A and B are shown apart, each in its own frame.
Chain A
Amino acid sequence: MARFAARRLLLMIPTLFAVTVIIFVLVRVVPGDIVELRLVSGGSFVTPSVIEAERVRLGLNKPIWAQFTQWIVGIPRLDLGTSMWTGQPITEEIALRLQLSLQLAVMATLIAVAIALPMGIAAAVRRGSWVDHAVQVISVAGLATPSFWLGILLLLFLLTTFHWLPPFTFTPLWVDPKANLLQLIWPALAVGYRYSAVTTRMTRSSMLEVLREDYVRTAWAKGLAARVILTRHALRNALLPVVTVIGLEFAFLIGGLVVTEQVFNLNGIGKLFVDAISHRDYTLIQGLLLLVAAIYILVNFLIDLLYVWLDPRLSYG
């Protein structure tokens, strides 16, 4: 197991390198000059000398490969350069907001799993019944409902029934757990519902497949209790693809956070990304894209480990 993990970890290095190349090309392929674009989009009148000074300040006067080298040698030291807009180190900007977004992502995932597993299993067991149809409708609607609109509806509900809105300033979990949860449960619900939809569909189809297996029929034939068959025989085997979906959904949660943090005015990674886009802060965008990709790679690595742990038949090769 340790050797398998070590090998997979080492394989992540070339992948990460390729990721940095792609991100750098994507962000720097700008037609025209970044500095000019930024200053002109700000609406101010700029002289060539101002542009030149800004270019020197941001290190953009160096050749492109030198800029790239400077960026990637900093990455192992967690130095992603400084923000073009605030001038702060990017790692600091991210660290400041990571706690909120990470907690939100974990809560949203828990909510999604809490909705998806029971619904998916119930739909598979009662295939074709009204339960199955209801579950299908709920999950199809989840994919179509924009999470920011769901967030707005939740705010409307809180306003009309409790005359209360969750506060904008973040209270860390260990400072005041109750205030923290009361603040984050709403955005987590808005994001979690949407993300439950895919997991529900996956759970349903995976369970349906397993329930057709011979060993499940044998289990019924020898008179085992339904609860034992569903959990020990069926669910355990149906869980593998579901785990993958949950993991990938977690890695993709940042996409949901981008809009939801805006609705609830939460100062997290998603809002930072939107701000970086609005200010055309290219170094910050670069850093955040790297973070998103790194999370995706890391989650994939963890899924692989979990797979082997869940299913001993899979080799560590």
Chain B
Amino acid sequence: MTQELLTAAPPALARSPRRASWLGRFVRRQPMGTVAAVVIAAIAVTGALAPWIAPYDPVANDFGAMFVGPSHDHWLGTDAFGRDVLSRLIYGARTALLVGFAASLGGATLGAIVGVIAAYFRGPTDLVLQRAADILISFPLIILALAIVAILGSGTLNLILAIALSFVPRIELVIRASAMSIRGMVYVEAARAVGAGPWRIIFRHMVPNVVAPYLVMVTAFLGQAILLEASLSFLGLGVNEPTAAWGLMLSGTAVEFLQRAPWMAIFPGLAITITVLAFNVLGDSLRDALDPRLRT
């Protein structure tokens, strides 16, 4: 009796060693990717704990302390409105990660669904979708995102939508190609033979098999989404003042008072570069670990 109970371990426990070994192998084989993951975790924790660790209110003006250089009171100085640069950087991490994750996951999921459905049903709808996607990927991401902002207007939510939508044709083409090859597999044919409907085949048999390229695309999108958020906010067409966003911190007064207050321009750019770098490196390592065929 007791013997039986011991061997019949709950499934969650039975699975965990396997997962741990995958993680262990990733850490051993992808040291750069592991460092990148730690950096991203640190940025995420910083953003999450922003209200407790930021020394100042990120949107509070202090006209008695404008353009204060890095000092004991303001480690990274203050901006043209006397706002603490370090506090704005810490809160900016929230904006960057929120927009980055929401846009990448949203865009990739929508694109993947469209791709799988197109691959399953084929026919004229697929043809039209395919042509449209072919044309849309001939525009640089930022041009597409800006064109969508022109329709939706600026603001954080519209920015997320614009970035997400500009990712859709890119992932749609990749997922469609993967799904097309899966569609020809014998097990899909077998599922149809035993009477499975199209939705059951799509969600039970095709979707689980495009998860690897999907994850690879999502991680590749993350860095690009954060860079796009920064670029659009810098242009004044993304996140609106006074919200703390790294790209926004680099626009206007940061360039105008470049010589007087260089810290306003140096630190936000550094934050963007480090974050995007970490996501790109992690993305490359994940791609190598998950799906070496996608290596470029």
Interface residues of chain A, those whose CB is within 8 Å of chain B, are 15, 18-19, 22, 26-27, 29-30, 41, 140-141, 143-146, 148-149, 152-153, 155-156, 159-160, 201, 205, 251-252, 254-255, 258-259, 262-263, 273-274, 276-278, 280, 282, 285, 289, 292-293, 296-297
Contact = CB atoms under 8 A, between A and B. Distances in A.
B147 A277 contact: yes
A292 B273 contact: no
A141 B277 CA distance: 7
A274 B234 contact: no
Contact of A140 (B140, B150, B266, B277): B277
Interface stretch (B15-23, B68-76, B197-205, B223-231): B223-231
Contact of A144 (B150, B235, B280): B280
A155 B255 contact: yes
B151 interface: yes
A149 B272 contact: yes
Ranked nearest first, the 7 interchain pairs of A and B with the lowest CB-CB distance are: A255-B140, A149-B269, A144-B277, A144-B276, A296-B138, A277-B150, A252-B140
A277 B140 contact: no
Contacts of A259: 142, 231, 234-235
A255 B224 CA distance: 13
B272 A274 contact: no
Q: Mostly helix, strand, loop or mixed at chain A's interface? A: helix
A153 B135 contact: no
A47 to B, nearest CB: 22
Interface string B108-151: 00000000000000000000000110011011111100110111
Contacts of B274: 144
Given A252-B140, A254-B143, A274 B135 contact: no
Contacts of A282: 150
Given A19-B135, A259-B231, A259-B234, A273 B143 contact: yes
B82 interface: no
Main secondary structure of the interface of B (DSSP, over half): helix
Contact of B147 (A27, A145, A156, A251): A27
Contacts of A159: 258-259
Contacts of B149: 277
Given A146-B227, A149-B269, A292-B139, A26 B147 contact: yes
Contact of B138 (A143, A274, A278, A293): A293
Nearest to B278: A144
28 contacts: A15-B135, A22-B132, A22-B135, A26-B151, A143-B223, A143-B280, A144-B223, A144-B276, A146-B227, A146-B231, A148-B250, A149-B250, A152-B265, A156-B259, A156-B265, A252-B140, A258-B142, A258-B146, A258-B235, A259-B234, A273-B143, A274-B237, A277-B146, A285-B150, A292-B140, A293-B135, A293-B139, A297-B138
B131 to A, nearest CB: 6
B269 A289 contact: no
Interface string B261-273: 0100110110011
A263 B247 CA distance: 12
